[in-house]
Amino acid sequence: MKRISTSILALMLTLGILSGCGASVPSQPSAAQKLTMEKAEEINNVAHLLGLYKTVTYAQLDYIGGEVNHTIFFKDENGTICQVSEGNGYVDYQTETLSFSLWNGVKGYHISATENGFFYNYLLMGHDGKLVSQTVDANGNLACETKADISQDYADGLSGFGVTTADKLITKPVFASDDYRELSIDYIILHPDGSEVKIASAVLLYDQEVTYPDTVQDYLDAEKYTVTIQLPEGDTRTAEIPGGAVFTWSCDAGYALYLDGEGKTPLGETSDPVQGNMTLYCLAAQ
């Protein structure tokens, strides 16, 4: 691995420092510091933050799973939003159209032909919750708390730890008082009996250096072909796929990918090995 691995250690050390901040009794925020959930979500999405910062780095430590997840968002030389992630057993590289992953030694390529792509309103905070409190901590930052219902899928993922849809997800994000960018967040399960268990904590840093795991660097250095997607409204997206690789794909409901503009030849669920540049068409499913 390149320096991204050492970045994880540094981020986790920072996480420990941040989680220890604000031990004194917090004061109440002034009226000017009041933050709505809508405003927080408006600011803390990838597209907005990358208009202000060169990179956004998110690192999460899962207490009950023991995993460390590290993600850095940035724009490449063409202004395209990109993401590099790594954690226990996986590496992932994404653009708006392409997801390249290595999971337990298996490489995979996936193309998104959905209208909004991978990063549309991608939030760097807990969402779908209700803001229930906010105070100013000892460092002058805005400490908030949100509460949200737990979906069946989320409960299933944590069923081994006794999580059910009867529980609530409590998130405790801390926002910078000047521009409301998120600095850290704790994730807590609230059981019906009032007991709580902290399941994860995360820290966010800005303008860090972009580095790549070896697997991603190998992908970037490989000879690749361009797959162009013609979207229904006339826009196009492109993805770079190494020669000989295959890919899966997804579209919005009611649409599919075709090898021709008339929709006569559908693309299989998994493509044939890519042997050259190609154009695909996202059309209403026949």
> For 159-174, what is each residue's pLDDT tens digit?
888 899 999 999 999 9
Domains of the chain (ranges; CATH) run 4-90+120-206 (no CATH), 222-286 (2.60.40.4270)
**∠30-122-62 over CA atoms, to 5°?**
85
| pLDDT of the residue at 57 | 95
Backbone angles phi and psi of 207, in degrees to 5: 60, 35
pTM for the whole structure: 0.81
Q: Is 219 helix (H, G, I), strand (E, B) or coil?
A: helix
Do 98 and 110 contact (CB within 8 A), yes or no? yes
| pLDDT of the residue at 221 | 95
First to last CA, the chain: 45
Least trusted range by pLDDT, from 55-69, 203-217, 270-284: 55-69
Q: What is the pLDDT of residues 101-120, one digit of tens each?
A: 999 889 999 999 988 777 76
Q: What is the pLDDT of residues 202-233, one digit of tens each?
A: 999 999 999 999 999 999 999 999 999 999 88
**∠77-55-225 over CA atoms, to 5°?**
35
Structure tokens at 227: 């797959």
Q: Which residues of 155-173 are buried (b: 16+ CB within 10 A; e: fewer)?
A: beebeeeebeeebbbbbbb
